[in-house]
Amino acid sequence: YLANTLDPIVPLSGPKLLPDQTYDDAKEQFDVILIPGGIIGDGKAEHSLMNFLKRQGPNAKHILTVCTGSWILSSTGLLDGKRATTNKEMFKVIKEDTKDLPITWIAKARWVATEDKKIWSSSGVTAGMDLAYAFLEYITGKGPAEASAGFLEMIVNGEGDDPFAAKNGLV
Q: Which residues bind its own copies (CB under 8 A)?
A: 1, 8, 14-20, 87-89, 123-127, 129, 150-155, 157, 161-164, 167
Closer to its own copies by Cβ: residue 7 or 46:
7
Closer to its own copies by Cβ: residue 7 or 80:
7
Min separation Cβ 132 and its own copies, Å? 11
Closer to its own copies by Cβ: residue 24 or 161:
161
Question: Is there a contact between 131 and 111 (Cβ–Cβ < 8 Å)?
Answer: yes
Give Cβ neighbours of residue 112 (< 8 Å, ≥ 6 apart).
83, 84, 85, 106, 120, 121, 122, 159
Backbone phi, psi, residue 122, to 5°: -120, 165
Name the burial class of residue 83, with classes exposed (0-12), middle (13-18) and buried (19+) by CB atoms within 10 angstroms of its CB: middle
Min separation Cβ 88 and its own copies, Å? 6
Min separation Cβ 101 and its own copies, Å? 23
